[in-house]
Structures are given as structure tokens and as C-alpha cells.
Structure 1
Amino acid sequence: MNMIASFVIGAVTAIAPVTTTPLSWQGCGDGLQCEQIQVPADWARGSGPKVTIGLAKLPAQDQAGKKGVVLVNTGGPGEQITLLRQGKKYFADLTKWFDVVIFDPRGFGKSTAINCPIHAPFATEWVFPSKSAYDAYGAKNRTFGQACAKEAGPLSGNLNSWQIAHDMEAIRKALGLAKLTYVGNSHGTVLGQSYAELFPHKVGRMYLDSVWDHTTPDLHEWLRRRAQALEGNTERFAAWCQSTTTCALHGKDPLAVWDKVMHKARREPIPAPEAGPEVRISDTQIASRANFTYEATWERLAAGLARAQAGDASFFAEVEGAPDPNLSRVILCADLPYPGYDKLKKLETTLRRDTPHIGWRMVWPMANHCAGLPPTRTYAPRPIKAPGLPPVLIANGEHDDNSPAADGRRLADQLPRARYLKAVGGHALYFSGHPCVREYVHRYLTTGKMPPRGASCGPAK
């Protein structure tokens, strides 16, 4: 593996002490109040350099009647305080009852920041067509990672959910809370899982949305759930096309068309005249750029497939997304260390047996983050044990292939007294405004009352 997974930080018992002083919140614009705390750069050491964790608070609307404080992480990993400034409306309901506190994880924003001197590489064809292409990309990613590590100083090697969970515990103490109420979304659920494992008796209420499972050491099993979710979305796309007269493939078998286009492009890349007279699009480029996940993209995808079947793959010359300028991938790969090309190709071959259309593609997104990164200390996935943990509410969207519903169900099965809320939807159910999910979450956070067993939420209206 290109990341060291054998260093088990969780086994360390000597945790650096932290002293807290009362917070002195100061107005910092946009209705926010800001503050900072000091924490050890490495919680596994009894002494050593300190770093800063930046906090921001959106005060409750009724300070006299508020129910407490909720700590939030919206995912990423990445800056959080900027998101709070830009998206206060998403937290408006919570501020009916709580002070909402958000923090920039170590390395980002108002915390001790790591300003990587070069940008992370950006793979426009992240379903790597060959080992040589993977190795070339990995070399660029290694250069990026090495440059970041030099800038990181005492934070080098100390960017993972074990360290950040200890930062969260320091935040709880600094806030003067007997128990922590926490809302985590996407990668914020990895932080939640680590906090629950390390500090189960310090959890008050915890809602985890769009869970990324951090409890499965078997990479094939972890990927299989993603592959099945993505394959399910291709089947939803096909059903939509067959029932929608405006679909460019209406009256055809959309998945058969997809398979033919992929076979054709694998045998000989398809011309893309709109991108240039010499541009040809391969099957791995098509696999990298086809979006079956979001219904809003389906009409254009169907039209693009129809054109590609006719010999013009210009639609698949378009590249969505943007380069990642920061170190989010360093944290992501420290929490979910990833193997090299040869093992990934074997995993792809295995997944193709059960998810032959496109689900097998799920082997490669994490490789786009982790390929070639220099070794670091990791907090790798392991079954979670959290005795004494109070009831945790968990919800995943049934159509989310980034954090599949099976991940949320697996976590709920491991946490004592947890409740899984099934919901028809995609990623970030709460923050995307799913009304049914939000109603259940608000009831749980304010009263502790869980949804009834078997409760579910249909599509957002």
C-alpha cells in the first residue's frame, strides 16, 4: 500500500493534557462570533508544539430559551467557517434552539493552516487507463504531498480523524459542555465515528448524515456497497429513459446502448469533433465523466450517449469539477488508506462481475486522492466499539453512491441503541433541505425522541 496502515494511533494511551480557559467570543462579521483554542499538534505526545483551532458561533435566536450548543461539521474535509458565513440559511432552523458552533479542522482556514505551496494534481481521466498513467499521476501527487508535509511543520503526520476527534473533545471542554451534541455530514461522519469510539461517555446526542463507513477494514466490501449503489443509479436512469418521451434513448435499451458505446470506445476511441479534429474519447474517459447519480443530468447524458453511439463523443470531452488546491486528500487518505494500482485492477475485475455497467468505476475515485501520497500515520477503518454510547440517529439517501445507504445501516448495526432512518434522496439529506429528514432530526436533537422503528422518508417534495 502507498499509505502506512500499521501505525495504530488508537492503541496509544498517553494523551497530551489540555487546559481550558473561558472562551471570549468576539464578533467577526456576518452575525458570527469567533474564538480560538490551543491544542497539541500531536495528541499522542505528552508535550510538544501547540496549534490553533478556529471556532465560529452562530448564536441561538432566543438566548434565554435555547436548549444548548450543537457542534457541526458539514464534511469535506475542508474549511467550515467560510461555509457557515456563506450558508447561514442552512442553519437557521437549528438556531431556533441552539447556538451552532463550527470549527475549521486542523490545517484549514482559521485554524493553524497548512498552505501547500503547489496545488494537488487534477486527473481528468481518473479511471486510470494503465499503470503508467497511474504512476505518472501518482508521481505528481507525491510531489504535492511532500511539499505539503514540509509546510505542515508539527502537523505533518497528524492529520486524521483520531487527532481531530481529540480536538473535538477539547472544544467540548472549552465550551463547558458536560456532553457533546454533534451533527456530522459526509466526512463529518468519520469524525463522528472516531469521537463516538474514543469518547462514548461524552456524547449527548449525535446525528450522522450520509455516513462514510469507517468500520470496514475489507476494502472489497467497502467498495462493493458503492459499486452496487452506482449500478442502481444506472438502472434508475434506464427506467426514467424508458418512461420519458423526451429522453434521447426513449424506445431503446439505454444500458445496452451504454455497453455498446463503452465497447466501441475501448476498441477504438470515438471522435469528439467539437473538442478538436484530433480528439478521441476512450472508454476510461467516458467512465470518468458519465454522471448517473443526479437526475438533473440524465437528459444531457442520454443525448450524449445517443451522439456517441452515432460516432460523436463530444459530450464526453467535457470535464466537470475543478482542481483541489488544498490538503483535504491528505486527511481523507489518512482515514481511508488506499492500495496501489495492481490491487485496484484486481478489485475492478472482481467488481465487474456483479456491477458490469459502471459500478466497478467506484474503485478509482479514492485513487485519484491517494495515489502516490507519501506515507503518513493513519487511523485506518476498524470495527467500532463504543460501550455506553447513547442513542445515535443515522440517515443516508437511498440513491447516494458516494456514501451508500448500506454504510449507514452497517454503522447503525454496530452502535448500541442507534436508529437508522431510511430516506429516498441523495447526499447530505439534512443540508439539502429534505423536509421529512429535517423534522425527525429536529425532534431528536431537541427532545431526544428517535423516529419510530421502521420509519422512513419518501422523496423530498
Structure 2
Amino acid sequence: MLTSIAVALTLLGSGVQAPQTDSLDWSTCPGDKIGMECADLRVPVNWQQPGGREITLKLGRLKATGTSEGSVLIAYGGPGAPGIAITRSGNRWAELRERMDIVTWDTRGYGEQIGGLSTGLPCTWTRIPLPGFPEDDADFGRLSDTNRGYAEACRTKDPEFFANMSSADQARDMEAIRKALGGAGLNFYGASYAGFYGQAYARLFPGQVRTMVLDGTWNHSTADWAGELEAMARSNEEAIGRFFAWCAAGKCRDVPAKWRKLVAGADRTPVPARQAGIAYDGRDLQAFAVSSARRGAEVWPKLARDIRAAAGGDASGFVPERGARYPDQSTGVTECVDWPRPAGRAELEATIARLRKVAPNAGTASTMATATLGCVGWPVGVTNPPAPLPKGLPPMLGAGAWGESDAVRRVLRQVPGSVVVRHEGPGHTLQASNPCARAHIDRYLTDRVLPAPGTRC
């Protein structure tokens, strides 16, 4: 008894909650080679009808190698991901696991097609090229009809499940997992798109958050969506600006001037990529260039060569080495219920004009204004729109490289005391690749100790 009291006092002093007994039936995961346990958790398809039909979430757990002080729930984004397989594929949680159980799950709806073990939607998705901007109202109507037809092929197989795939649905699944683990406050790490799960959870269950890490994600917690689109565009403009500054100091001083002329010309007459038998318009080229510029100096010499070649009439250098030949879009089954979409061509054109003004070199590329073109006409409305975080949340930790850290900062400035760790360089998420950031993340999740404001890794 005295030993139990001493352990409890130690945990309270460190800020870690004493673990509680969970209600899950854990057993060795199928094909396991690293000691991971799995369990099934039944949850409603539709959280608004908790007594209705249920689906199965497959959970995975790596027990703490030392004395367990609680659990950390891990999600990897995607927007859906096989958390169990990803967690088993490396040793990225070794230090955190010394004190905490590592728990993850295969997200709802994304089943066998991505290697997940939870109940999946009975759909086969492919990545398709982003549609072009509609030229008139009739063109906008055709885009709507095309998108609806694409989505209906999946929706009709399971309309109820299709309509309950938002990040808020994932957040409600997280709350069910938290309760099943014993009901202690939630410790959550969300990477990339899973950061939207975390933001939704913070809105829905603010009193249950103990610690929350948002790593390499974007801002889904704003009342000013138009302003957030502009912030995305400015971030992309900064990425190309870094590349242009590098050119100005080196051997490609001619490239910035060539770039704007190239984009303007390609919008009138797409530039052929002869090796692939296709042609790219200005928005295509901007999407590829933003992607390359974000990757840093390692790829900038090639980007300069590709721009020069395209200015000379051959855009073959922009063709991806594998996969889609055009900038593409993901399924939309989650994205299209999370993000606002244009209601009509006039609204879309006003947004395009505004973004091109704030980002003359990057334009609308790699913003949600472009990504949500595939959501026009979607048969389910936006059920989880962006919204500010509530008051009363505990201080949270963000992490990210270049533009991602800026986006996370826009989220966490709403939560007093929060800190964002920034990597001044390229990359997507920091925990797996940046030991400095990983150490701060581990200390925060265990002891609720945040790094100093302005920390860089």
C-alpha cells in the first residue's frame, strides 16, 4: 500500500497521470515480431446515433519498457493511415516508450486498400488529376456533375459510412479509445493530416486534453477561412522566394524573370512535356515548382534547369518520376467534409484573383482553394468545417519545418502558453527525422514541460 501511494505521488509530481485499468482485450497482433499487442474496439458508424450500427477499430499497443506512466495515442495522418503497420515499421518511439505505452489505431474507413485492419469503406480509390478552373458557369456545373459521379460510385455502397468520415468522426473515435484505455486525460501526437483530428478533438473534448502535439499540420481552427487561404498562398510564395534568393546569389539569376513569363504563357498555351506526350498549364507548373522549392537547396539546381527548359518549349523536367503525370488530388472522402468548397464560379474566381495577388509566383498552387476543386458537387456537405479552438485548453506543443511551423503557430496562438518548435529548413513533420524536436516532444508528453518560446531544431 505504501509503495502504491509513493508511486502515485511521484506521478502526480511529474505531471503524469497514474495509469488506469482499461477495458480492452489485448492479444498478440497478427504477424507480430516486435511485441505489439492488438485489440478491437466497437464504435458507432454515426456518432450522432450511438445505438446504431457499429464498426470495428483495430488498436495496437507497445507497452512501456519501464514502469508505465500512462498512454500516448499516436496518429499519422494520410488523412487515413494504418497506424499499426507504421508503428511496427520503425523504432521512432523508443525513448518515449521507456515511460509511456504507445497506442495507435488503424483509422476508420481506410481498410485493406492501405493495409489497415479497421472496418473499411468498400471502395477502390485512385488519385486523379486536379480539374482545371471552370471557364464559365456551365463548366462549373460540369465539374460538379463529374465530381458527384466519381463520389457516388463509392457512396452508394455504404451511404451511412461514407457520410461519417470527417476528422471530427476520427476525434470521437479517439475519445472512445481514451475511455477504453481507462479514462485518463488524453496524450496525443498527430502528424500531418492527423493534426486535424487533434484540432477537432480539442474543440469537442477540451476538458479531456492532457497533452497534444501537432506536428507538420495546417490550420483547421480559424474563423477567417479566406484569410487562411491567403496565408497558405503566402507560405508557398515564400518557398519560391527562397529558391529565387538562392538563384540571385548563384548561377541562375535569369530564372525568376523567366518563371513569370513562362507561367503567363502556359496559361494561354500549355507547354508540352515531350517525353510524356502531355502539356502543362501555368497552374500545373506552379504546383510542381512549389513542391520542389519546399524541398530545399538539394533540388533547386534541377528546378532551375527545368524552368529554363520549359521556357525553351519543353516541360519534360517537371514530369514526376513515377505516379501521376499531373498534379493530383486524393480521394476527398475525408477532405471534402473537412474543408470549405466554393459555392459557385463567382466565389471561386474571386478567391483565385485574391490568391494570385498575394502570391504572384505561386498563385493558387498547393492551397485548399485548388485542392477542394474536387469537392465541388460532392454528395455530402462540409460536416466538420474549420472553427476556432475553445478557451481553457492546456498549453500545447507544435512542430514543423518552414511553412508548416507557421501554420501550426496560427493554430496554437489561440492557446495561451503553447510553443511551436521550428526547423529552419525543408521537411514534412519533425518527430521521425529530427532528434532535437523528438526530445522536446517526449519531454512534453511525459512531464508536460514545454521548450522555450522560439525554440529551433
Q: Distance in 1 between matches of 2:38 and 2:449?
A: 32
Look up the match of 1:218: 224
Look up the match of 2:341: 338
Q: Secondary structure at the match of 2:299?
A: helix
Query: Which 10-residue stretch deviates more, 223-232 or 202-211?
Result: 202-211
User: Following TM superposition, by how much is the alpha carbon of 1:284 offset from its aligned partner in structure 2, in angstroms?
Assistant: 3.2
- Any residues of structure 2 matched to 1:27-426 within 5 Å, and which? 27-28=29-30, 29-31=32-34, 32-62=36-66, 65-81=67-83, 83-85=85-87, 87-108=89-110, 109-116=116-123, 118-120=124-126, 122-123=128-129, 126=131, 128=133, 130=135, 138-245=144-251, 250-252=252-254, 254-276=255-277, 279-290=278-289, 291=291, 292-295=293-296, 296-318=298-320, 321-322=323-324, 329-340=332-343, 342=345, 343-361=347-365, 362=367, 364-376=369-381, 378-387=383-392, 389-397=393-401, 399-400=402-403, 404-426=404-426
Look up the match of 1:438: 438
Is the contact between residue 39 and residue 50 of structure 1 (CA under 8 Å) also seen in structure 2?
Answer: yes
User: Following TM superposition, by how much is the alpha carbon of 1:39 offset from its aligned partner in structure 2, in angstroms?
Assistant: 1.2
CA RMSD of aligned residues (A): 2.8
How many aligned positions are there? 422
Residue deviations 1:87-138, cap 9 Å, x none?
A: 322333332332211112221222221021x434501x55537457765554
Q: Distance in 1 between matches of 2:216 and 2:227?
A: 18
Residue deviations 1:237-259, cap 9 Å, x none?
A: 112223344xxxx242x221101
Is the contact between residue 285 and residue 316 of structure 1 (CA under 8 Å) also seen in structure 2?
Answer: no
Q: Secondary structure at the match of 2:275?
A: helix
Residue deviations 1:248-294, cap 9 Å, x none?
A: xx242x22110111123234333433334xx5443233234333221
Q: Distance in 2 between matches of 1:127 and 1:230?
A: 20
Residue deviations 1:338-381, cap 9 Å, x none?
A: 12461222111011122111143225442254233212460111
Residue deviations 1:215-251, cap 9 Å, x none?
A: 2243321111110110001111112223344xxxx24
Partner AA of 1:333 in structure 2 = C
Q: Secondary structure at the match of 1:415?
A: coil
Q: Distance in 1 between matches of 2:342 and 2:223?
A: 12
- Percent of aligned pairs with the same residue? 31
CA 1:273 to 1:203, structure 2 compared with 1: closer, same or farther past 3 Å? closer
Partner AA of 1:268 in structure 2 = T
Look up the match of 2:16: none
TM-score (norm 2): 0.83
Look up the match of 2:429: 429
Q: Secondary structure at the match of 2:399?
A: strand
Partner AA of 1:201 in structure 2 = G
Q: Distance in 2 between matches of 1:377 and 1:258?
A: 36
Unaligned runs of 5+ in 2: 1-21, 111-115
Is the contact between residue 196 and residue 386 of structure 1 (CA under 8 Å) also seen in structure 2?
Answer: no
Partner AA of 1:366 in structure 2 = A
Q: Distance in 1 between matches of 2:197 and 2:75?
A: 8
Q: Distance in 1 between matches of 2:206 and 2:33?
A: 34
Residue deviations 1:63-87, cap 9 Å, x none?
A: xx23321101111111233542563
CA 1:185 to 1:318, structure 2 compared with 1: closer, same or farther past 3 Å? closer
Q: Distance in 1 between matches of 2:314 and 2:344?
A: 31
1:455 aligns with 2:454: yes
Unaligned runs of 5+ in 1: 1-19
Is the contact between residue 147 and residue 378 of structure 2 (CA under 8 Å) also seen in structure 1?
Answer: yes
Q: Distance in 2 between matches of 1:143 and 1:82?
A: 33
Q: Distance in 2 between matches of 1:365 and 1:435?
A: 34
